[in-house]
Amino acid sequence: MTRPAGRGGSSAAPRSVDVARLAGVSQKTVSRVFNDEPYVSADVRRRVLDAAEQLGYRLNSAARALASGRTRSLGVVSLGTALYGPATLLVGIERVARDLGYALHVVNTMEGDPAGIAGAVGSLLGQGVDGIIISEPIDEGEVPVRVDVPVLVFGAPLPFTAPRVVTAGGGADLMARAATEHLLALGHVTVHHLAGPRRWYVAGDRLAGWRAALAARGAHEPPVVEGDWSAASGYTAGRALAADPEVTAVFAANDDMAIGLIRALTEAGRRVPDDVSVVGFDDIAVAAYVTPPLTTVRQPFDAVAREGLKHLVHAIENPDSDPLPASDPPVDLVVRDSTARPPA
């Protein structure tokens, strides 16, 4: 075979030998320069860089990956929705990955996806990623995949075996607890919870935090209402909750559901916050501008992404080192106008 048709173009892409020839050095020296290896004189480095520039040379990552066994890329498995949390986290992950010199492969899975997480992870492994990130996972039971690269999981136990596992983005329970305590501190006898789908770990964490807050206070624990993160499901739940005069405070597991809930309450003639207080979770873009402005918990997605990836890359580049210590992100409750003292 002659050189492949060259990525659809007419002229073949320059290779490192071409650069070497032009710079009057060996191919290996070009490689050294592009890998920031030591033992290259400043003069030679300059000549190589100039030659590369002139030729428009770019390192061929497939060849590099084949030779080195590393791709310098990371794979993300994200739940395939455009939900605020996963979407925002993904943006943070991408930025940090790029800062750290890693490319990012993304695979979405959807709830009900037959291949599920296993399929997504398998496809990433086939792409040769050096590490895998599982964002906002759901419980699919045991995932039948043997992963041989380090894995970063955001806020969940790991459903499969991998050589190195790091976690980040915990603390959802503490945040939920703070939200619930805020309501309790206002004087509400108890707080109802509009939970996320049971299979999502983050939904479970928020539920646990709510439960802990009630228990610590000795408050009665009302039955949990489960939504699907959507405003529509919040609305449906709200219609039921509105009919119960005992309900004076609700902690919703995300802002979308909180907004649907508020609408249902309002339509039923129960004023927010005068009759019922509502706290959301996420602090979505419009949270401060809906009616009433929503009290909610802001998640530090960027910080969480940064910490998580730092640990993951550490595990990749130092296979035998100890894991870095994890730290819980700070709780950031944003109090606005959807919460107040209970009606007299």
- The span of 35-43, 173-181, 211-219, 259-267 binding a second copy (CB under 8 A) equals 259-267
- Report the residue from 9, 10, 25, 144 that binds DNA according to the rule CB under 7 A: 25
Q: Which stretch binds a second copy (CB under 8 A): 41-49, 187-195, 285-293, 323-331?
A: 285-293
Q: Is 245 in the site for DNA (CB under 7 A)?
A: no
**DSSP calls for 239-299:** HHHHT-TT--EEEESSHHHHHHHHHHHHHTT--TTTT-EEE-SB--TTTTTSSSPPBEEB-
Contact call for residue 248 and DNA (CB under 7 A): no
Q: Extract the tokens encoding 152.
A: 């970063």
290-319 binders of a second copy (CB under 8 A):
290-291, 293, 316, 319
Check binding of 223 to a second copy (CB under 8 A).
no
CA nearest neighbour of 18 among 6, 26, 10, 9: 26
What whole-number distance in Å separates Cα of residue 179 and Cα of residue 187?
13
End-to-end CA distance of the chain: 85
Q: Which two tokens stand for residue 76?
A: 């993300």
**Residue 189 Cβ vs a second copy, minimum distance, rounded to whole Å:** 27
**Nearest partner of 75 among 128, 148, 119, judged by Cα:** 128
| 104: contact with a second copy by CB under 8 A | yes
- Residue among 333, 283, 339, 287 nearest 179 (CA): 333
Question: Among residues 16 and 248, whose Cβ is nearest to DNA?
Answer: 16
Q: Is 56 in the site for DNA (CB under 7 A)?
A: no
Stretch that binds DNA, among 66-74, 184-192, 257-265, 334-342 (CB under 7 A): 66-74
Interaction of residue 186 with DNA, rule CB under 7 A:
no
Region binding a second copy by CB under 8 A among candidate stretches 147-155, 193-201, 220-228, 330-338: 147-155
